[in-house]
Structure 1
């Protein structure tokens, strides 16, 4: 009994200590809610505009958050449980949290501007954006950005051959810099060769501009053997653990050829990665091969262009901690795939580059975004094996015998 009484007293002392600390913290605040924000539930942007746009102006609603009302409802239903908060004070509604975050991602407004418009504290806005972005990745990542299985790789390869006349290609790969503010105490880890601070987005996409794999967060200073080899995708690809289909016949031939991704000159030439022939004034057959490879590789450039045109937060530097910036980029990639799946107008045919014979007709995204994201540079050392050179020559000969 004596020990029980002592434990009860200790518990009471601890509770009183916590209560005193809470009082001290609240006393340091000049006010709990700014007077300007006290009518948030009636005059804030969500209260004054959301329902009006949702019910009567779906076009303006889509311009604001890049989603139609129906797609917004679907996304909200998937995230509602994670976004609903329980508090002693009236909590911010889950729809408001999602609407605020999508507005930020779509337009890249400053957090202070959003705080004033939505009539809530800047720290609240920062917290909401971080939590919603993380919820998008956690809830939707495994569905809308899962690594393809063997049969899915084959379908992607079939699409590349049908749409871009490049057989056995299971994706186009590229790496881009996402500019961020200088992280505290980071030294030169995030400092890139262009003189700014960044994290790297390494991604592959299929023939229809849908991202299939991403690796986000590598230091901007990494080059050569860094980004590709240390990424999860790069390790699995280069080590043969990506569960690709077995070598298959090139269409219309008895020549077996491995499945591969295409990249630009920044990537190494490997059995599983094809890059163009280097140099200028190339022989006609190599020039034709490079043009055909460029057609297939151009899809990743367009995918990044669509991503930045729709989610303009990526165009300007992200003034946030690298981990938070990583959450934001992940959310935009997931939203790209999600909205594209449910809304065909997200990426209409004239929004991406088209070919008229050899002539390239630029997609409309290029008018909205002059430079979507900066290229990373070399992704790893370019030492190639003899078999990789031989495979490229073999595919070049096939291309020459199968003109468009």
Structure 2
């Protein structure tokens, strides 16, 4: 026991915060805050035969697994715990992270929270009435035993899907986890609970309001996405790349500039939790547990340690969804026209939009 990682290396790492952070992807103080949140959820009773593994060690084992992507066999040798014990620790701790952090760090947004997100988005990106940027990524997994074909995607590997909205601080504000990888475009999103709420206008968004700096008609609050998503009254995507005039190119650039925040969020997510850089050697149900834990940890750490990253400088290694060419209704296309026209007005233009085309 005296030679295992927890009783040697990590005891020394407490004294070196930079080295500790490189192992578990957070500072010592953030780690202790996290442990306080989930301590009771992962504590186990001692028995007359053996002492239980401490909550601290359970959390470190799980963070090491997420941060490195090492196998249970590798962690078994490092922590001197059986492979099945390591597996159980990771699963129960991931569940506890989700259960204990969900309400505070991935809450159901209220109209007031949507307004706060929109204000920050406009402050940082100058995109009006935007309540989040959406993107979908494949999470690579090993081939499941049954039914493997459901997880085999058009890029010829096995996967599940993570769809997320991000705010202008790189936090994930809503997620859909665990759809089959075979569903490779916006259909998987439209069929999800979150997608159905957006396309039916049931996301609880604030009442429409005029664009900043104008006294024009009220305009709806919107999410922004790429070509993989079908537009609706609360979701905008770029114009097709063919036959673009100056106005449409400016709109596409402004939308792309704002949408970088979800790409950056995924980049931070994967950069911190390296398990997602390779196929995860677990059953899909356990993969979902891992993804859930990583999502709430992402938000928890950003709350404690805001990221200084520039969205132009962080890229995600996760493959994106297939593009779709479904045509929107005339009313929705007119909505996009209203946004693009606003970017040409004195109130809506920015000094750099023409230089960047």
* TM superposition score category, shorter chain reference: over 0.9
Task: Find the aligned partners of 2:196 and 2:103 in 1 and give their Cα distance.
Answer: 20
Q: Is contact 2:59–2:93 with CA below 8 Å preserved after alignment?
A: yes
Q: Match of 2:159, SS?
A: strand
Residue 331 of structure 2: aligned partner:
387
CA deviations 1:264-300 (Å, max 9, x no partner) are 0111121111000002341111101100010111110
Q: Gapped runs of 5+ residues in structure 2?
A: 351-357
Q: Is contact 1:289–1:400 with CA below 8 Å preserved after alignment?
A: no
Residue 403 of structure 1: aligned partner:
349
Measure how far apart 1:126 and its partner are: 1.0
Task: Find the aligned partners of 1:233 and 1:385 in 2 and give their Cα distance.
Answer: 21
Counterpart selection for 1:125 from 86, 90, 102: 86
Q: Is contact 2:153–2:184 with CA below 8 Å preserved after alignment?
A: no
Residue 133 of structure 2: aligned partner:
172
Task: Find the aligned partners of 1:77 and 1:394 in 2 and give their Cα distance.
Answer: 49
Task: Find the aligned partners of 1:230 and 1:66 in 2 and give their Cα distance.
Answer: 34
Q: Match of 2:196, SS?
A: helix
Name which one, 1 or 2, has greater alpha-carbon Rg: 1
Task: Find the aligned partners of 1:373 and 1:224 in 2 and give their Cα distance.
Answer: 15
Task: Find the aligned partners of 2:231 and 2:135 in 1 and give their Cα distance.
Answer: 14
Q: Match of 2:177, SS?
A: strand
Normalising by the residue count of structure 1, what TM-score does the alignment of the two structures yield?
0.83
Counterpart selection for 2:34 from 68, 75, 87: 75
Counterpart selection for 1:144 from 101, 105, 122: 105
How do 1:371-382 residues align onto structure 2 when only pairs under 5 Å count? 371-378=316-323, 382=326
Task: Find the aligned partners of 1:75 and 1:306 in 2 and give their Cα distance.
Answer: 19
How do 1:7-22 residues align onto structure 2 when only pairs under 5 Å count? none
Counterpart selection for 1:153 from 114, 133, 139: 114
Residue 4 of structure 1: aligned partner:
none
Normalising by the residue count of structure 2, what TM-score does the alignment of the two structures yield?
0.94
Q: Match of 1:188, SS?
A: helix
Task: Find the aligned partners of 1:241 and 1:281 in 2 and give their Cα distance.
Answer: 35
Structure 1 residues 225 and 65, CA gap change in structure 2 (3 angstroms): closer
Task: Find the aligned partners of 2:225 and 2:33 in 1 and give their Cα distance.
Answer: 35
Query: How many aligned residue pairs are there?
Result: 345
For the pair 1:330 / 2:292, whether they are aligned, the reply is yes
Task: Find the aligned partners of 1:58 and 1:224 in 2 and give their Cα distance.
Answer: 42
Aligned-residue RMSD, C-alpha = 1.4
Task: Find the aligned partners of 2:176 and 2:220 in 1 and give their Cα distance.
Answer: 24
Q: Gapped runs of 5+ residues in structure 1?
A: 1-39, 354-361
Dislocated runs of 4+, deviation >3 Å: 223-226
Task: Find the aligned partners of 2:245 and 2:73 in 1 and give their Cα distance.
Answer: 57
For the pair 1:233 / 2:173, whether they are aligned, the reply is no
Task: Find the aligned partners of 2:122 and 2:224 in 1 and give their Cα distance.
Answer: 13
